[in-house]
Chain A
Amino acid sequence: MSDTPQDVIIGLEVHIQLANLKTKLFCSCSSDYRSAEPNTHVCPICLGLPGSLPVINKKSIEFATRLALALNCKINPKFWFFRKNYFYVDLPKGYQISQYNKAGGKAFADGGKVTIKINSSKKEILLNRIHLEEDPARLVHKGSIRTSPYTLVDYNRSGITLIETVTEPVLSSPAEAREFLNQLKLIVQYTGISDLSLEGTLRVDANISIKGHPRAEVKNITSFKEVESALIYEITRQKHEIKKGKEIMQETRHWDGRVTIPLRTKEFEKDYRYFPEQDLVPIVIKKEFIDEIKDYLPEMPNERVLRLQKQYMLSEFDAENLILDKYIADFYENGVNKDPTFGPDEYKLYCNWLMNNIVGWLNENNKKIDETKLKPSHIIDLISNIKKGNITTKIAKTLIGDMMKGNSISKMIKDKGKKRISEETIIEEYSREVIDENPRIIEDCRKNPKAIEALIGRVMGKTKGQADPKITRKIMIILLRNMRIID
């Protein structure tokens, strides 16, 4: 058995809640269910009570059209919904209203593609289709799904609009899958149909197989981060089974955050007994409707990269980094446009501070930019204080944390006078610079240890008096001792 990545075949089904809709797909229950008590955003339709009749939310059709356009899919001019029959407690009706591209049916849209970058070369990930369906209920297990004595069901989520994006089985590694999802997330955010920041807005099912063997479907992957670990686990498991001479079962497995466990033997497609949903009438999508949506389609990530390069004279690298998070890119444009004196240098500086320091801080603290008190003007203030010589770049970097709390650099300088630096790594850096730049004083130190005062003075000068003199002395002595200049 060879171990090359070409042996791995992955196809993804990505379910995204259209979280920017106010109501569910087939009823007018509020979709804002996350902080609600269980079973309070429900009605006869989403509880599946007999005699209730679904009516389609017009906006879900608009949102699906936006995504189809953004992904370059071909929107089908006429389609209808189907019942997908299976019995599971999350489905009160005994069927899910979904779409089906067989038996005369059509998906919402066919084809499409997402371009990803892997090791700086581009790859097109082809899509099979996108379609609309309703979200099942949320299940709550006491403890884990394995040990829970019963299942609790909350139908608040039942009937929320999901859009499912199905790739062709063309992904060949967990890393590719991760890149694909990052790009898809970006496109979804830019279309404005869902911001994907809320818990449970995304669920991924992955079909995984080793070439020449049956595939397993892994369900319940609930975050972008987990996709990669679930895929790596499942690929390793399958390769082990094959190595041991065992056959891979065609089955559905459940990702529990650590491992995949068998859930139920794969139901075959015919077992879903798809048939047209008679409670809903067909949908006809006219070209004029699509054109209208197209006119209002927000700028897409790839278009923004080009514009940012042109408008702010940024490199392709910087522009591509900025757009990775729509909110960061918005923050950037908000900021640089606030100061009319900004030119190419400031555009670049602003980008560097944002991408290196602010985003670094956000990642370390696991926060999003709108969860902090940082305002676009704070970075303008930072840049201007550095330019005026009120503060050095190194010291400014140590103040990022305070800035995220909404304190401007100007205010910090005013409040505390010159900010003391007590961070040893920074003082050490300055001290090394001073040592490198002053070979003559170093020579003096060999004969007269008092010459060390001159070096400390130079560090104070470089930091505009902000370095703590005691710590500076301590560090300087250690450095000189290591160099065997002093005893």
Chain B
Amino acid sequence: MSKKEELSKETIEHISKLALLDLTEEEKEKLSKQLGDILNYFKKLDDLDTTNVKPTTHPIDGLKNVFREDIPGESLSNEEATKNAQHKKDGYFKAPRILKE
């Protein structure tokens, strides 16, 4: 059985920064436990002997070259496309500014 680990606070802070999430201290603690649990669950896979198993990148073996022709189809209207957006302006989606102060 693999060793149980929690996700370190540094790792949580790093990945939350990549995900652009500002976490409170409590959230960080809670998530480090929860994500740690998930990873530990996956670690069960380490117990399997995979010496003779070829690496898999795609689950459906042998399926390849699925293409479509270069023929334009119908798109959504602007109204449909932006229907669920909370913030919009002049047909655009509106997002926070990119550069921080």
| Contact (A40, B72) CB under 8 Å given A87-B19, A282-B57 | no
Are B92 and A39 interface neighbours, CB within 8 A? yes
Tally of contacts, chain A with chain B, CB under 8 A: 134
Distance to closest chain A CB from B95 (angstroms) = 4
- Complexed CA–CA distance, A58 and B69 (Å): 6
Quick one: which of B18, B71, B92 contacts A87, CB cutoff 8 A?
B18
Name the residue of chain B whose CB is nearest to the CB of A263. B99
Are B63 and A40 interface neighbours, CB within 8 A? no
| Contact (A43, B19) CB under 8 Å given A104-B55, A150-B96, A155-B93 | no
Name the residue of chain A whose CB is nearest to the CB of B55. A104
Name the interface residues of A140-198: CB closer than 8 Å to any CB of B.
140-141, 145-146, 148-155
Distance to closest chain B CB from A48 (angstroms) = 11
Chain-A contact segment, one of B1-9, B27-35, B37-45, B73-81: B73-81
Are A153 and B98 interface neighbours, CB within 8 A? no
Are A150 and B18 interface neighbours, CB within 8 A? no
| A487 close to B (CB within 8 Å) | no
| Contact (A145, B65) CB under 8 Å given A28-B71, A42-B75 | no
Distance to closest chain B CB from A30 (angstroms) = 4
| Contact (A276, B73) CB under 8 Å given A42-B81, A153-B95 | no
Interface magnitude class on chain B: 35 or more
Distance to closest chain B CB from A193 (angstroms) = 12
Are A41 and B75 interface neighbours, CB within 8 A? yes
- A263 partner residues in chain B, CB cutoff 8 A: 99
Distance to closest chain B CB from A1 (angstroms) = 31
Interface magnitude class on chain A: 35 or more
Are A89 and B98 interface neighbours, CB within 8 A? yes
Distance to closest chain B CB from A78 (angstroms) = 8
Are B70 and A149 interface neighbours, CB within 8 A? no
- B46 partner residues in chain A, CB cutoff 8 A: none
Are B66 and A86 interface neighbours, CB within 8 A? no
Distance to closest chain B CB from A258 (angstroms) = 16
| A463 close to B (CB within 8 Å) | no
| A309 close to B (CB within 8 Å) | no
| A284 close to B (CB within 8 Å) | yes
- Complexed CA–CA distance, A201 and B94 (Å): 24
Distance to closest chain B CB from A207 (angstroms) = 21
| Contact (A40, B58) CB under 8 Å given A145-B98, A153-B95 | no
Are A267 and B18 interface neighbours, CB within 8 A? yes
- Complexed CA–CA distance, A276 and B56 (Å): 10
Are A89 and B95 interface neighbours, CB within 8 A? yes
- A88 partner residues in chain B, CB cutoff 8 A: 98
Distance to closest chain B CB from A389 (angstroms) = 55
Are A21 and B70 interface neighbours, CB within 8 A? yes
- Complexed CA–CA distance, A367 and B4 (Å): 68
Are B71 and A140 interface neighbours, CB within 8 A? no
Are B58 and A22 interface neighbours, CB within 8 A? no
- Complexed CA–CA distance, A58 and B92 (Å): 30
Quick one: which of A27, A89, A281 contacts B58, CB cutoff 8 A?
A281
Q: Would you list the 6 A-B pairs with minimal beta carbon distance, nearest first?
A: A28-B73, A152-B92, A58-B67, A59-B70, A89-B95, A153-B93
- Extra contacts, 10 of them, besides A42-B81, A280-B66 (Cβ < 8 A), are A21-B70, A44-B76, A152-B93, A152-B94, A152-B95, A154-B92, A271-B18, A278-B58, A278-B59, A281-B66
Residues of A within 8 A of B (CB): 21-23, 27-30, 37-44, 47, 55-61, 80, 85-89, 104, 139-141, 145-146, 148-155, 263, 267, 271, 276, 278, 280-284
Show 5 A/B contacts (Cβ-Cβ < 8 Å), sorted by A. Answer: A39-B81, A47-B81, A55-B67, A148-B97, A281-B60
